[in-house]
Each structure stands twice: as structure tokens, then as C-alpha cells.
Structure 1
Amino acid sequence: MSPYRLYLVTDDQQNLSTLIKVVEAAVAGGVTMVQVREKGDNIQSFINRAKAVKQVLQGTQVPLIINDRVDVALAVDADGVHLGQSDMPVKLARKLIGSEKLLGLSIENDQQLLEANNLPLDYIGLSAIFATPTKTNIKKQWGIQGLEKAMQLSQFPIVAIGGINPTNLDHIIETGVDGVALVSAICHATSPQQAAADLLKQIQAATPHH
């Protein structure tokens, strides 16, 4: 099973105790990967959040990915880093984190997609599939056809992100994509555990059998 299948991206607006509850519940529900985000510049707060989530994930086999910050990932010995296009260059990040850790990159257009093929990555995050309230500065909406095209052009596993929810999930999974990344559908659910379990069930049902 792909570790990218149900990829939880945490909501950086939620406080630490809420974050921990959400991650615990989501992991119990079956998320396969967790990325911690911290949008402010407070590096200590980011490290605290990352450490707290790392403790929750201890012994679960669910990888911890740090958004944007290679230094935080190294400080807490996370399983990997997810970079945006304006973050540290991929080759430099790879040098710093070594070959064992996972390295993901957000891809926002066709040119970036093709350039990524020459980079030392493990996966790419295709952003954004659909418009979403959490991202106000979307460069491009890939849509289902864009996602299918990207899968043909990229040599890496693809995680689809942006505006994904139970109503459009089937269409996305039917493309054969490696995984989906979700924020609101899990973080803002009444029961993140139930939400994750339901999403996973939906993903398994819609996954193409080759």
C-alpha cells in the first residue's frame, strides 16, 4: 500500500492540543502520512508542534513530514520534508537531509512538473487540483484531466492536493493517483477518526485494480 494514500496535512490555525487530538484520531482512522505545517515565523512553536506530533506517531509506521523547513525536520529527526517552490532548493535540501529521508515538492505548473523529473525527489504534491478556501494564492487548478496528464509526465509518485473532499474523491482516485492530501476534510470534521476511516474506505473502493 502506498504510504501516500491518505496524506493528512495539519491545519496551522489549530492550537497544539487540538492538533494532537486531530492527529491521534486521524491515525486511528487510518491516515498513512502526516505533514505538519506552521505558517508563522515562530521556529520554536514549529519545533514544539513537530515534536508533539512525532510522539503521537511513535510506533505507528506513519511517516512525519515537515512542511517547508529543513532545519525543523533535522531538529526533530522527522521522516521527511515537503518543499514549496520558494523554499530551499531541492538539491541542497537533499544534501542536508541525506538519502534516507523523504523529500516532496509542490508542483504548480507544467514547467515545474517537467523540471522536477531531474531532481532528487521521492514524490510530488500536485497543487491545486480544485480551488480551496485554505489556499488563496492558487496559480493553477489542474482538475482531473490535468492530474491525468501530470501522471503521464512525472516519473515520481503524485499526491493530489487542493479542494479534495468525499464528493470529488472517487474521480481523483480513479485516475490511479498515488495519494490524496487533505486538510479540512479531516482536521475540521466532527470526528477526524471517522472522517479518515470513511475516506480510506472510499479510496479503497475507488482504487483501480490493474
Structure 2
Amino acid sequence: MKQNNLSYKMYLVTDLFEGTEEELLAKVEKALEGGVTLVQLREKEADGKEFYERALRLKQLLDRFHVPLIINDRVDIALAVGAFGVHVGQDDLPLKVVRSLVGDMIVGVSVRTVQEAKKAVEDGADYIGVGAVFPTSTKLDAKGITKEELTEITGSVRIPAVAIGGITAGNIEKLNGTGIRGAAVVSAILKSQDPKKAAEELNEKLNIQ
């Protein structure tokens, strides 16, 4: 698979950014300098044309740093811009359908139970996003899972698991020892005055080999 040498350690999600596109790209660039290893473009409000154009610009930036682009939900956008992968939730297109459309592109799926994690593997997922692991302002309806549940989920599958939800420099160390391969971060980087420093601090505190 394409993901052989892929690092999920510092997984930036561009969700609910309130600035301009230029400001977003500038923050992402600083975050990349700080060690972000993967970027997911999540655009819940954008129309197709806007999403496509933003994805193209972001991919051009990421290509300079040799960092993969993951598109949230929109398989068509992922295919159109030649993204590295696509990430879907439990209420999006069925994973088997997504896999049939994208071929060897990596596919991630959001889960919050062992059952959902195992089903994701059966249906062809390359990695899972598990959460919310802490209370989060970006998904107010997200139900939290405990550290014990997170550890149980990561131990139930052989594909990489990425923790998501409310992760900050103040709590990321609580994820050490749970078996995750990375942490998906939104506000802790994008709302920071110094995204490079924020990414460096998060990277330093997350103990993943």
C-alpha cells in the first residue's frame, strides 16, 4: 500500500478556521516547519468549487514539504486534486464504496468503538481516527471515550489508530501508552499565535516511536 512509510504522528486537521485562505496557508506552513506530518482538509461549509480550489492550493504547499494531503468526506475532491488519501465518518459513503472508487489511495475512517474499528478493517480502511478523546470545541456533539476505551480500540486492530478530539499541549501526554500512532490536532495549532512552536511542543510531548 501507499502508506508504507507514512507518519501519522502529528496529524493537522484544518477545521473551522475563521481567517482568510492566505492566513490558513500561512499557519499550515508554519505548522509544517514545526513537524506536522499529515494534513487533512476539512471544509464542511465550502461549496465544491471553493473546496477544490482550496485543496489545490493546500496540496501545492504540502508538496513542497513532502507531506501528504488527506481530504475529509469528499471523494470527488480527493480524486480531482490527486490527494494522498480520503477520510470518512460513520455517516458518509460506505467504506467499501469509497475503497472501490479510490483504488490504492489511503482511506481513513472515524470510529469510537471496537466494533466500528474492526468493521473499518474488514471494509478496507488503512487507518482509523478514534475519538473524541477529550472535550472539543470543533465537534460539540462528539461523545468522549476514555483512555481505557482508546487503548482497547487500538489493541483490537493492526492498522494505525490516530486519536482526535480536544488534544492540546496540556493533555497530549495522557495519550502516551495507548497504542496510538498519532494525534489529530485542530485548535491547538491553528488557533496558536505561533503554529510552528505549537507543533514542536505537541511533537515533543507525544511519545511515539
Structure 2 vs 1, CA of residues 41 and 187 (structure 1 numbering), >3 Å: closer, same or farther? closer
In structure 2, distance between residues paired with 1:181 and 1:49: 20
Amino acid at match of 2:156: L
* Counterpart secondary structure, 2:65: coil
The structural deviation recorded for 1:83 is 0.4
In the alignment, is residue 119 of structure 1 matched against residue 123 of structure 2? yes
Letter of the 1:157 partner, please give it.
P
> Which residue of 170, 179, 182 corresponds with 1:179?
182
2:30 maps to amino acid: A
* Long gaps (5+) in structure 2: none
Q: Over residues 2-46 of structure 1, what are the superposed CA-to-partner deviations in whole Å (9 max), with x where a residue is unaligned? A: 510000001233331121011111111110000001011511111
Give the drift of 1:174: 2.7
Aligned-partner Cα distance in 1 for 2:47–2:35: 30
Tell whether the 8 Å contact from 1:2 to 1:179 is kept in structure 2 after alignment.
no
Letter in 1 for 2:127: Y
Equivalent position to 1:20, from 25, 38, 42: 25
Matched, 1:67 2:81: no
CA contact (8 A) 1:8 1:33 kept: yes
The equivalent position to 1:105 in structure 2, one of 102, 109, 131, is: 109
Matched, 1:151 2:168: no
**d(CA) in 1 for partners of 2:204 and 2:198?**
10
Tell me by how many angstroms 1:167 deviates.
Answer: 1.6
1:166 partnered with 2:163: no
Amino acid corresponding to residue 97 of structure 2 in structure 1: L
C-alpha deviation, 1:67, in angstroms: 0.4
Identity of aligned residues (%): 42
Preserved contact between residue 5 and residue 179 of structure 1 (Cα < 8 Å): yes
What SS does the aligned partner of 2:58 have?
A: helix
Aligned position for 1:5: 9
State whether structure 2 residue 111 is matched by structure 1 residue 132. Answer: no
- Judge which range, 183-192 or 125-134, deviates more: 125-134
> Which sits farther off after the overlay, 44-53 or 112-121?
112-121
SS at match of 1:23: helix
Mapped contact 2:95–2:124 kept (Cα < 8 A): yes
Which whole-Å CA distance do the structure 2 matches of 1:41 and 1:8 have between them?
19
Normalised by the length of structure 1, the TM-score is: 0.92
Instruction: Tell me how far 1:202 sits from its aligned partner.
Output: 1.7
Report how far residue 168 of structure 1 moved.
1.4
| Deviations, residues 44-91 of structure 1 (Å, cap 9, x unaligned) | 111111111101111322110000000000111100000011111111
Q: Secondary structure of the equivalent of 1:66?
A: strand
2:36 counterpart (10, 31, 42): 31
- Match for 1:81 among 83, 86, 93? 86
8 Å contact from structure 2 (residues 15, 138) kept in 1 = no
| SS of equivalent residue, structure 2 residue 64 | coil
Given that 1:81 and 1:102 are in contact with CA atoms closer than 8 Å, whether structure 2 keeps it comes out as: yes
Q: How far apart in 2 are the matches of 1:41 and 1:26?
A: 23
Aligned residues: 204
Report the equivalent of 2:199. Answer: 196
